[in-house]
Structure 1
Amino acid sequence: MNYVLSLGKEIIEKRKLIWDLGKADFRKRFVGSYFGIVWMFIQPIVTIAIYAIIFGPAGFRTPPPVPGASYVAWLVAGIVPWFFYSEVLNTVTNCLQEYSYLVKKVVFKVEILPIIKLMSCLMVHGFFVLIMLGLYLVTGVAVRLTWLQALYYTFAASMLALGIGFFTSAVNVFFKDMAQIVSICIQFGIWMTPIMYHESMFTDRIPWIGTVLKLNPFYYIAAGYRDSMLTGNWFWERPTLTLYYWGVTIVVFLAGLKMFKRLRPHFSDVL
């Protein structure tokens, strides 16, 4: 616990450095690219278009799970946080190799490197949230006070991804295949979460499938974003799921940080 408090104090003291490095990391993604920041949106938009065609009116004709909202509006509310979550996992896992020159500096606290990557991903996520809000305003989705709750669910997703990221980034220094394992798990993860499909596709025939899906912590984030953006429900209306999510997230975060602390003395030797 002292280590967690020490990290929190370090984050507060070096918040300006973290912010500046996060902005620099964000800009670095597009250095040398002709279209620059445009590429940040192309792949996610194409992905949304593909899923909308497959599961929308031209494909399996999945009925809109939320009355008054189109399938695309429902899909976007689930997939935008997934883009953020998966990007954090991918970038944080490789952050120690990418910033190896900082890891080798004795005076630099390497625990803030995953947080720098998180800040960079949050900037990208902010753009996507604005696009999502613009889409809803154009298509006539009712403006709700619960839209502000997206900040809470973004924070919740950040803590889970950061906890996993502390573990995977530390292990990846010694076991380079970890980055590939994370990538494969992300590909499975999007299908293990009802993002493109509604859970009723399975629970109507096999009721216990709903319980299995809810064991996936990201279920809480996807459902929470949809509660916030489309149905107007608050997070405390899912008390059991909220307690379960934060219980799992706290355990994952502490375990990931413990692994990071244990392996940290050996980072500079390997890198």
Structure 2
Amino acid sequence: MEKVSILWALVRRDYALQYAGSFLGISWMFLQNLVLISLYALVFLVLNLKNPSTQEDFTAYLLTGLLFWIPIQELLVRGTGILTDNRSLLKRSSLGINLFLWIPYVQFLIHSFVTSIPVFIYLGFSGTLNLAGLVFGYLVLVLSGLYLMLLLHYLSRLNILLKDISPLIRLVSQLVFWGIPVLYYPTGVLKQWNEWNPFTIPLDVFRTTVISGFQAQFDWFHIAPFLFFFVLVYLLAKRKFQSVILDHL
């Protein structure tokens, strides 16, 4: 319990540093997520108006895709730079590297839950929300974050060795975003391309659990090679990078 309380204090400290001097404070973070979802939804739903019969289905498809991706992208970018951003505190304390890595994960859980509320309310009113799968939907989000954490143990340490790879990670996150079927249906060549993305299957599982009547679009066993690779990367970071990173802080 002591570590949990310390972690929560670090999470609040990180929020305070991120939004210090901001007019809206931490509220800006939640507002930003809602604005992003609204903008994407507005643009792509307008494009879909020529097919009104598919409008309702596409709305649920689009909103759940954005709900899944936006917190994941934040976790990827924030998790990569978390050790570098807390370099001075790491040097002065004996808390260890691993505890700091959980800061962006806790924030990811908060962002996912808060952002999901208006999305699920809308899906409930439109009749496309699978109430029976709601708990499993949150479980998928939790596990998807842990899945990405395997990679972040490596990327956060690599960020220290190479000084700053955050701009590269932001670019890669955009490529990953367009490589998963968030804003479009996977067909033909696009579907083959999607299968090479490590986040396609978690997104497909999430949609299957929360959208009523949604049929899985991919074979879920395709995640096995990515999971195996992420575990190997995690073990590499823990065993080979630990002592090296401490010297470079």
Q: How far did 1:257 drift?
A: 4.1
Q: How far did 1:99 drift?
A: 1.2
Equivalence map 1:215-254=2 (5 Å)? 215-232=196-213, 240-241=219-220, 243-254=221-232
Query: What runs of 5+ residues in structure 2 fail to find an aligned partner?
Result: none
Q: How far did 1:17 drift?
A: 2.4
Give yes or no for the alignment of 1:74 onto 2:61: yes
After TM superposition, the score normalised by the length of structure 1 is 0.79
Q: What residue is the counterpart of 1:172 in the other structure?
A: 159
- Alpha-carbon separation, structure 1, partners of 2:96 and 2:138: 28
- Alpha-carbon separation, structure 2, partners of 1:111 and 1:63: 49
- Alpha-carbon separation, structure 2, partners of 1:137 and 1:55: 21
Give yes or no for the alignment of 1:153 onto 2:133: no
Post-superposition Cα deviations, 1:74-96, rounded to whole Å, max 9, x if no partner, equal 21101111111111111111111
Give yes or no for the alignment of 1:265 onto 2:243: yes
Q: Is the 1:118–1:158 contact (alpha carbons within 8 Å) kept by the matching residues of 2?
A: yes
Q: 1:14 aligns to what SS in structure 2?
A: helix
Q: Judging changes above 3 Å, is the alpha-carbon distance between structure 1 residues 246 and 15 closer, same or farther for their aligned structure 2 residues?
A: farther
Q: Is the 1:93–1:172 contact (alpha carbons within 8 Å) kept by the matching residues of 2?
A: yes
Moved more, 30-39 or 181-190: 30-39
Give yes or no for the alignment of 1:41 onto 2:30: yes
AA in 2 matched with 1:17: I
Equivalence map 1:1-271=2 (5 Å)? 14-56=3-45, 58-59=46-47, 61=49, 63=51, 69-105=56-92, 107-200=94-187, 203=188, 206=189, 209-232=190-213, 240-241=219-220, 243-271=221-249
AA in 2 matched with 1:48: I
Q: Judging changes above 3 Å, is the alpha-carbon distance between structure 1 residues 141 and 238 closer, same or farther for their aligned structure 2 residues?
A: closer
Q: Is the 2:201–2:222 contact (alpha carbons within 8 Å) kept by the matching residues of 1?
A: no
Q: Judging changes above 3 Å, is the alpha-carbon distance between structure 1 residues 253 and 101 closer, same or farther for their aligned structure 2 residues?
A: farther
- Alpha-carbon separation, structure 2, partners of 1:256 and 1:14: 22
Percent sequence identity over aligned pairs: 20
Query: What runs of 5+ residues in structure 1 fail to find an aligned partner?
Result: 1-11
AA in 1 matched with 2:99: I
Q: Is the 1:21–1:116 contact (alpha carbons within 8 Å) kept by the matching residues of 2?
A: yes
Q: Judging changes above 3 Å, is the alpha-carbon distance between structure 1 residues 63 and 167 closer, same or farther for their aligned structure 2 residues?
A: farther
- Alpha-carbon separation, structure 2, partners of 1:31 and 1:256: 33
AA in 1 matched with 2:167: Q
What is the number of residues matched between the two proteins?
Answer: 249
Q: 1:83 aligns to what SS in structure 2?
A: helix
Q: Is the 2:48–2:55 contact (alpha carbons within 8 Å) kept by the matching residues of 1?
A: no
Post-superposition Cα deviations, 1:242-267, rounded to whole Å, max 9, x if no partner, equal x4325522431341342254223233
Q: Is the 2:179–2:193 contact (alpha carbons within 8 Å) kept by the matching residues of 1?
A: no
After TM superposition, the score normalised by the length of structure 2 is 0.85
- Alpha-carbon separation, structure 2, partners of 1:193 and 1:64: 24
